[in-house]
A and B are shown apart, each in its own frame.
Chain A
Amino acid sequence: MMRLRILAAVGLAAVLATTLSCGSKGSQKEILIGEYGSLTGGVATFGISTKNGSELAFDDINQKGGILGQKIKLLVEDDQSKPEEAGTVVNKLIHQDHVVAMLGHVVSSHSLAAAPICQAEKIPMISPSSTNPRVTQVGNYIFRVCFLDTFQGAVMAKFAYDTLNVKKVAILVDVRSDYSVGLQTFFGQAFKKLGGTIVTEQSYSQGDSDFRAQLTAIKGSNPEAIYVPGYYTEVGTIVHQARELGITAVFLGSDGWDSPKLWEIGGTALNGSYFSNHYATDDPSPVVQKFINDYKAKYGQMPDALAALGYDAARIMADAMTRAGSTDGAKVRDKIAETKDFPGVTGSITINADRNAVKTAVIVKVENGKYLLTESIKPDAVKP
């Protein structure tokens, strides 16, 4: 009996100690900016790339003296590719670590989970690559530096119809993702308006690994192309299994494909596929090439679009703070909203009245592990 009581007391003491020991990080002389991303799980490369891009940007800025006389410290939290964790880690960053601004997320569902929290707490949030329109509709503290899916869907529709001359497309959508479902709608609308037909729509869930049932159904409907607006882990497996089932149709995708792991998973099955993206690594522009060299020097690999967007988002956040002359949420928010013609790696960035960026999209072709620039499509070329 006594033993049990001692045990219980010790246990409780240990538990209390661990709970109370979690204090906040960062000293007074730094500007704390939070970033939430998926560093582990099915979309891990997105989080890691974005983090690398932001870190590169802030390191550059810190080396030149920082902003407002202080260095920037980036605090990154992992939500394990789970949307419900996004809210939890954002809460922790805001309330426990006392960050003054937030960067994140790549995945639209996670951004949608966390944005209301940032909005309520008046912490300006810039999403580097969430493309679903609803994200910035949450409130006036939420911004993004990438294009919208209404545009992205229309871009691929135009490319498929006009350039590839494809009139019959099947869609395989990830119902677990706002992003995927959104693109399914926007692509479908745009493609039909151009005169094409969607022969069938099948679905899967993020995390699935067996797509043969859906692919067999798609094969039966004889499409000329298959649009898979999903994330790289499933996409790679899907295309791999499709080729095994004897499907020869061309595969089309979206920026969720952009990951060094895509080729590792899908392999040669991916040759000849196309996807829409924010930038291409063989873009000869000097801004892009300098970024690629810096990134390769620091991280030893080619930066994907997520890294580039992470880089741009971080720089815009720092730039807004400099222009505002303070880290006060409301002031920074106003200055982000006024961003005009910012020279980003992913193009010239202007934040419009809806807190979105209006930019050019590129179509890249997958060929032997490389993503080759095939076409650039400007916003006015496409009327969504």
Chain B
Amino acid sequence: MKGLLAAGAVIAMLLLVNGLLSGGLLPGVSMSPYILQVLCLAGINITLAVSLNLINGFTGQFSIGHAGFMAIGAYSGAYFTVTFGDRLRSIFALLPEFGRESVVLLVALSIGAVLAAIAGFFVGVPSLRLRGDYLAIVTLGFGEIIRVFILNIDAVGGARGYGGIPKLANFFWIYFFAAATILVVYRIVHSSFGRTLVAIREDEIAAEAMGVHTTRAKVISFVVSSAMAGVAGGLFAHYLMYVHTNSFSFLRSFEIIIMIVIGGLGSISGSVLGAVLFISLTEGLREFAQYRMVLFSLMLIVLMIVRPQGILGHKEFVTFLTKRRRPIGGAPGTTGT
């Protein structure tokens, strides 16, 4: 009951903020569309970062192919909306405009999530048998293969990009799903399944010896993570109205990695922090765009030398405020041999 009330409150608040920002509620009070865009991109980044952290941070499996699942979600959702969106809209003609658009968006996102999850399964099963660095390269490879295949599909624009996607995603939906992602990952992590994942991260062989189905757990975590990346991709496509496979290269995967590493692998609030920091610096430094990546890469190197666990490490933001909750997984990461 408490959960439902809280959820309702969050949704109401998001709707309010959305109304304010788009100028729908109080005429004359609205935010510059440019800042709104930055906020929305931040929201999508949060979803990406938190979902990647589930597999990289909590399960300790280093995947650098996240952009591939984002691409699947983006393209499949966009294709659905462009091809079937109008038909669906007419079926739900009784609803107000907002309702009809939301229905189309939700269906598109679901399709994206499901397809991304399936892809996650087919990538995960063979890859997750491999160890650390090999897993990283294989996921990178899969991400690129997905990108190349989409590049060759003419129906979604192929190498020229896919445009004409109606702008169905807005502040409300983006942050709704960001919040939902955080909630889902939080619930997973604080469950006994979550402890399994952390056990795998800390010492996979020991976990296996203790009777944990490591491959099954890893694959489940991977599939969930990919599905959420698919949702983020769908939101991305329906917000920018144009997608190009260039936006889903391994550079994008690296960017998400930077976000979660800076924030702290194994910390949900760390990922949120990392995502926000990343987009703020990106936009803030737009004047000096060519120094942006130099700065980020330098930050990454220095961070790894000085504080490899990132800003928040394995702790959550609340730990600093209440000092009561114990961090998941104990002290920051052990060294491997």
Contacts and interface: CB of A to CB of B under 8 A. Distances in A.
Most buried by B among A11, A17, A21: A11
Contact of A8 (B33, B37, B160, B311): B311
Contact of B283 (A22, A84, A112): A22
Interface string A118-155: 00000000000000000000000000000000000000
Contacts of A112: 160-161, 163
B249 to A, nearest CB: 11
A19 interface: yes
A87 B241 contact: yes
A84 B33 CA distance: 18
A15 B34 contact: no
A95 B36 CA distance: 10
Interface string A5-26: 1001001000111110110000
Interface residues of B, number: 31
Contact of B161 (A19, A95, A109): A109
Contacts of A181: 160
Given A8-B311, A19-B283, A95-B33, A175 B158 contact: yes
B164 A116 contact: yes
Interface string B149-167: 0000000001111011000
Interface string A63-83: 000000000000000001011
B191 interface: no
B246 A83 contact: yes
Contact of A22 (B33, B163, B246, B284): B284
B284 A15 contact: yes
A24 to B, nearest CB: 9
A178 B164 contact: no
Contacts, number: 78
A100 to B, nearest CB: 16
B187 interface: no
Interface string B282-310: 01111101000000000000000000000
Contacts of A205: 159
A346 interface: no
A16 B35 CA distance: 12
A59 to B, nearest CB: 24
A35 B139 CA distance: 39
A19 B32 contact: no
Contacts of A16: 280
Contacts of A116: 163-164, 241-242
Contacts of A22: 283-284, 286-287
Interface in A11-69: 11, 15-19, 21-22
A222 interface: no
A117 interface: yes
Contacts of B161: 83-84, 109, 112-113
Nearest to B287: A22
Contacts of B37: 91, 95
Interface in B237-260: 240-244, 246-247
The 4 lowest CB-CB distance pairs between A and B, nearest first, are: A18-B284, A95-B33, A15-B280, A176-B159
Given A19-B280, A87-B242, A177-B159, 19 more contacts: A8-B311, A15-B277, A15-B280, A17-B284, A18-B281, A18-B284, A19-B35, A22-B286, A84-B240, A84-B242, A84-B243, A91-B37, A92-B34, A92-B286, A109-B160, A113-B163, A113-B242, A175-B159, A176-B159
8 contacts: A19-B280, A22-B284, A83-B160, A84-B246, A87-B242, A92-B34, A96-B32, A109-B161
